[in-house]
C-alpha cells in the first residue's frame, strides 16, 4: 500500500466474537498474521488456523497458507486498493471480513455431543460398509449397502453401480507405491463422488483409519470426519485428533471437491477439473492425476435397470444422444424432471436439453474452449460441450478431448460455423502439446464436415496402388446436398467419420499416422454399400500442412496391432 493510504481493517469473526486487525504492509506475512489472530482469540500459536472469505459472487474461498493469502490479496484486495488510491472507495468501509473456521475461542461453549441426523446416517453408512455386498458378476456389479445410504445421503440411495474403471483406478492407486497423493478428475457428473464411496468401502474392509472431507455445498466450516473401527467422529480443523491422524502415512485421506491439506497421509482427491482444488497437491513430488471417463451406453442402461427402472428407455436414449455418458443428466436429472412433469417425456427431455443448449450459447466457441482450458468453477458449463474421454492408449493418467455428442457438435457447428471458418488458422495452429493437438483435431473434424457438407472441388492425391505417381494433385468434386453426406450416429464404424454417396468414405485426421481399422472398414462396407458403380474410395481428409507429406496407412486389427489376415471386401477399396 502507498504511504498515504489508510490501513486496511480485517475483521475476523467466529460465532458471536469479532476481532479487528489493522494491516499496513502490502501483503501480510501469513505467520505474523496467524500469531496476531491466535493472540486475539486466546489460542495456542502452534494450532493450525483456517479462514474463509465469501466473495461477491457467493463463492467461499478458504485460506490456510501464505500462497492462499497472496492469491486472495492480489485478486480481491487489489481492486479495493486501486479504487481507494483514486478516491473511489470510502475509507470507512475499507474493511475485509473473514471467518475463522473450526476453532472454539476460550469461553465459548463446547460443541454439543448430540449428533445430528446427518451424522447418524454417516455412522450407519460407515459401520455397514464391511458387510456391504458386491452383487452381480463381471463388469455389471453394484454395491448393496442394505439399510444404509451411500455416504449417509438419502438422495444417493442404498446402492450404486461399481464401474469397471473404479476397479482400475483402485488397482492403479494401490499398486503405485512410489506415489502417495492422487487426484481423480474428469467430466462433471460421471461419478467421481461415487468412486470416493467405493474407495471408502475398500478402506473399511481393510480396517484402515480414514479422514473424510465430503463435498460441501453450503458456505461455512468444512465438515471433516475421522472414521475408524471404533466409529465416526467429527473433528475440528486443527484438532489434535485430526493432526495426529493426518501425520500417519497409513491413514487414508479422502477429499471431495475441495483443496486437501498437505500431509503425510495417503491422499485421494476426487474433483471436477478445477485448478484451484489440486494446484498445490500436484506440486508434491509423490503426486499424480488420473482421469475418469464418461459412461458407455451399456453402463448407463445397466445402471438404469438397477436404480431407475421406471425411467423410459426412449427418454434416456434421447438424452444420451445429447449429453453422452453423463449419468447426472441422462439418469438422475432425467428421473427428477420426468417425475416433476407428471411422466411427460417430451417435457422432461426439453428441460434437461435446455441446460446443455444454454451452455453452448454462453458465448463464442473460443470462449467455451478457453473456459474449458482455464479449469475454473465459472467455466464448468464448458464441460457440457467438451468431454474428457478415455485416452486412445487406455492410460488412466491421460485424457482425450471429445465433443459431448454428435448432436452437440452439430449444434456447435450450426451456431459457430462462421467463427470456425473465419478463425480456422487459430484453431489449427500446430503444436507439440498433446492437449492442443487433440483440440486441433476436434475442431478440424467439424470444419472438414462443414466443408464437405457444403460441397465443392477439393485437391486429392492417391496414396496407394500401382499408379500413385500419375494420380498426384487431382481435383475431386462432391455435390452440396443435405442427403448426400452422412455421418455415423456413433463411433461404432471406427474406420470412417462420414460417407458421401454410395462409395466415398472419409476419415478426418490432423496426424501423419492414422492406421485403418480393418474390421471397422469391413463393417462399414457391409452396412452401407451393396453394389458399387465404381470402386469404393477411402479419402483421408487432412489440413494443408499435412497434405503433401501424408503417406499410405497400414491396416490394423481390433487390438491395434498390424492386420495380417485376408483383406476380404476391404481389398476393393481404393
Q: What is the CATH number of the domain that holds 31?
A: 3.10.20.90
Cell 480414514 -> residue? 210
Mean pLDDT of the chain: 81
Question: Residues 428, 412: one domain?
Answer: yes
The whole-number average pLDDT for the span 455-465 is 80
Higher pLDDT, 247 or 95: 247
3-state secondary structure of 437: helix
Q: Over 80: is that where the pLDDT of 16 sits?
A: no
Among 266, 291, 316, residue at a domain's last position: 291
Would residue 110 count as lying in a domain? no
Would residue 482 count as lying in a domain? yes
Residue range 122-164, pLDDT digits in tens? 999 999 999 999 999 888 899 999 889 999 999 999 999 999 9
Tell me, what's the pLDDT at 77?
58
Higher pLDDT, 87 or 179: 179
The whole-number average pLDDT for the span 68-91 is 57
Question: Residues 271, 416: one domain?
Answer: no
Highest mean pLDDT among 47-51, 202-206, 485-489: 202-206
Tally of CB atoms within 10 A around 50: 20
Tell me, what's the pLDDT at 26?
61
Q: Which of 410-419, 455-464, 495-504 has the least mean pLDDT? A: 495-504
407: CB partners within 8 A, 6+ apart: 321, 322
Q: Which of 167-171, 241-245, 354-358, 409-413 has the least mean pLDDT? A: 409-413
High-pLDDT (> 90) share of the chain, %: 38
Residue range 490-514, pLDDT digits in tens? 544 455 565 555 557 888 888 888 8
The DSSP annotation for 155-220 comes to: GG-SEEEE-HHHHHHHHHHHH-TT--EEEEE-STTSSHHHHHHHHHHHHHHTT--EEEE----SSS
Question: Residues 146, 279: one domain?
Answer: yes
- How do strand 266-270 and strand 537-541 relate by DSSP bridges? unpaired
The whole-number average pLDDT for the span 288-301 is 96
Tell me, what's the pLDDT at 555?
84
pTM above 0.75, yes or no: no
Would residue 446 count as lying in a domain? no
Question: Residues 72, 153: one domain?
Answer: no
How many separate domains does the chain show? 5
Tell me, what's the pLDDT at 430?
57
Tally of CB atoms within 10 A around 278: 23
* Residues composing the chain: 574
Among 328, 360, 392, residue at a domain's last position: 360
- 82-94 as b/e: b if 16+ CB within 10 A: eebeeeebeeeeb
Helix (H) or strand (E) holding 321: helix 313-323
Question: Residues 417, 493: one domain?
Answer: no
Question: Residues 158, 235: one domain?
Answer: yes
Q: Which of 43-57, 298-312, 341-355, 437-451 has the least mean pLDDT? A: 43-57
Question: Residues 32, 93: one domain?
Answer: yes
The whole-number average pLDDT for the span 27-34 is 73
Among 248, 275, 291, residue at a domain's last position: 291
Would residue 450 count as lying in a domain? no
Give burial (CB, 10 Å; 0-12/13-18/19+) of 481: exposed
Q: Which of 239-253, 285-299, 387-401 has the least mean pLDDT? A: 387-401
Question: Residues 340, 374: one domain?
Answer: no
- The pLDDT confidence band at residue 76, using thresholds 50, 70 and 90, is low
What CATH number should be reported for the domain holding residue 268? 3.40.50
Residue 316 to residue 377: CA distance in whole angstroms: 27
Give burial (CB, 10 Å; 0-12/13-18/19+) of 415: middle
Q: Over 90: is that where the pLDDT of 381 sits?
A: no
Question: Residues 327, 287: one domain?
Answer: no
Which residue range is the domain that position 410 belongs to?
A: 365-441
Do residues 125 and 151 make contact, with C-beta atoms less than 8 angstroms apart? yes
- The pLDDT confidence band at residue 415, using thresholds 50, 70 and 90, is confident
Would residue 89 count as lying in a domain? yes
Question: Residues 420, 351: one domain?
Answer: no
Question: Residues 125, 259: one domain?
Answer: yes
Highest mean pLDDT among 294-308, 488-502, 508-522: 294-308
Would residue 339 count as lying in a domain? yes
Q: Is 152 left (phi over 0), alpha (psi -120 to 50) or beta?
A: left
CA dihedral 9, 13, 16, 17 (to 10 degrees): -60
Tell me, what's the pLDDT at 492?
44
Tell me, what's the pLDDT at 91?
43
Question: Residues 417, 269: one domain?
Answer: no
Tell me, what's the pLDDT at 159?
94
Amino acid at each position: 500500500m502507498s504511504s498515504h493510504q489508510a490501513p486496511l481493517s480485517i475483521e475476523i469473526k467466529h460465532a458471536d466474537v469479532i476481532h479487528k486487525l489493522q494491516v499496513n504492509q502490502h501483503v501480510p506475512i501469513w505467520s505474523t498474521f496467524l500469531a496476531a489472530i491466535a493472540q486475539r482469540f486466546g489460542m495456542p500459536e502452534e494450532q493450525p488456523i483456517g479462514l474463509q472469505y465469501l466473495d461477491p459472487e457467493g463463492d467461499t474461498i478458504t485460506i490456510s497458507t501464505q500462497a492462499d493469502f497472496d492469491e486472495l490479496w492480489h485478486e480481491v484486495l487489489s481492486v479495493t486498493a486501486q479504487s481507494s488510491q483514486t478516491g473511489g472507495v470510502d475509507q470507512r468501509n475499507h474493511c475485509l471480513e473473514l471467518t475463522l473456521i473450526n476453532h472454539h475461542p476460550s469461553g465459548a461453549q463446547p460443541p454439543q455431543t448430540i449428533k445430528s441426523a446427518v451424522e447418524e446416517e454417516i455412522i450407519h453408512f460407515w459401520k455397514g460398509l464391511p458387510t456391504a455386498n458386491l452383487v452381480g458378476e463381471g463388469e455389471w456389479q453394484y454395491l448393496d449397502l442394505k439399510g444404509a445410504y451411500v455416504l449417509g445421503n438419502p438422495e444417493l440411495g442404498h446402492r450404486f453401480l461399481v464401474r469397471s474403471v473404479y476397479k482400475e483406478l483402485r488397482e492403479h492407486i494401490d499398486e503405485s507405491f512410489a506415489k502417495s497423493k492422487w487426484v481423480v478428475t474428469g467430466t462433471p457428473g460421471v461419478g467421481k463422488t461415487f468412486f470416493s464411496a467405493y474407495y471408502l468401502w475398500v478402506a473399511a474392509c481393510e480396517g484402515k483409519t480414514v479422514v473424510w472431507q465430503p463435498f460441501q455445498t453450503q458456505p461455512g466450516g468444512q465438515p471433516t470426519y475421522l472414521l475408524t473401527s471404533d466409529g465416526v467422529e467429527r473433528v475440528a480443523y486443527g484438532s489434535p485428533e485430526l493432526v495426529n491422524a493426518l501425520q500417519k502415512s497409513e491413514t487414508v485421506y479422502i477429499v471431495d471437491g475441495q483443496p486437501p491439506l498437505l500431509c503425510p497421509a495417503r491422499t485421494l482427491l476426487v474433483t471436477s477439473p478445477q485448478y484451484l482444488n489440486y494446484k498445490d497437491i500436484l506440486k508434491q513430488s509423490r503426486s499424480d492425476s488420473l482421469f475418469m471417463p464418461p459412461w458407455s451406453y451399456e453402463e448407463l442402461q445397466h445402471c438404469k435397470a438397477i436404480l431407475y427402472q421406471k425411467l423410459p428407455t426412449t427418454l434416456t436414449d434421447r438424452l444420451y444422444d445429447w449429453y453422452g455418458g453423463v449419468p447426472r443428466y441422462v439418469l438422475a436429472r432425467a428421473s427428477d424432471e420426468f417425475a416433476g412433469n407428471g411422466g411427460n417425456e417430451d417435457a422432461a427431455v426439453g428441460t434437461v436439453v435446455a441446460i446443455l443448449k444454454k451452455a453452448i450459447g454462453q458465448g463464442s466457441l473460443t470462449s467455451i474452449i478457453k473456459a474449458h482450458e482455464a479449469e475454473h468453477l465459472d467455466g464448468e458449463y464448458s464441460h457440457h460441450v467438451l468431454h474428457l474421454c478415455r485416452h486412445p492408449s487406455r492410460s488412466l493418467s491421460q485424457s482425450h478431448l471429445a465433443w459431448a455428442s454428435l448432436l452437440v457438435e452439430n449444434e456447435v457447428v450450426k451456431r459457430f460455423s462462421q467463427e470456425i471458418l473465419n478463425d480456422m488458422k487459430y484453431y489449427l495452429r500446430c503444436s507439440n502439446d498433446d492437449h492442443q493437438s487433440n483440440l486441433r483435431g476436434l475442431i478440424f473434424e467439424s470444419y472438414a464436415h462443414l466443408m464437405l457438407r457444403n460441397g465443392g472441388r477439393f485437391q486429392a492425391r492417391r496414396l496407394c496402388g500401382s499408379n500413385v505417381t500419375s494420380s498426384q494433385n487431382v481435383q475431386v468434386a462432391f455435390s452440396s446436398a443435405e442427403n448426400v453426406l452422412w455421418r455415423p450416429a456413433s463411433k461404432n464404424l471406427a474406420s470412417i467419420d462420414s460417407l458421401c454417396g454410395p462409395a466415398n468414405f472419409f476419415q478426418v485426421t490432423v496426424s501423419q499416422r492414422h492406421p485403418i481399422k480393418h474390421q471397422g472398414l469391413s463393417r462399414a462396407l457391409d452396412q452401407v454399400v451393396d453394389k458399387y458403380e465404381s470402386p469404393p474410395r477411402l479419402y483421408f481428409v487432412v489440413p494443408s500442412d499435412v497434405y503433401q507429406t501424408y503417406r499410405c496407412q497400414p491396416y490394423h486389427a481390433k487390438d491395434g496391432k498390424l492386420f495380417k489376415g485376408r483383406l476380404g471386401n476391404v481389398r476393393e477399396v481404393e
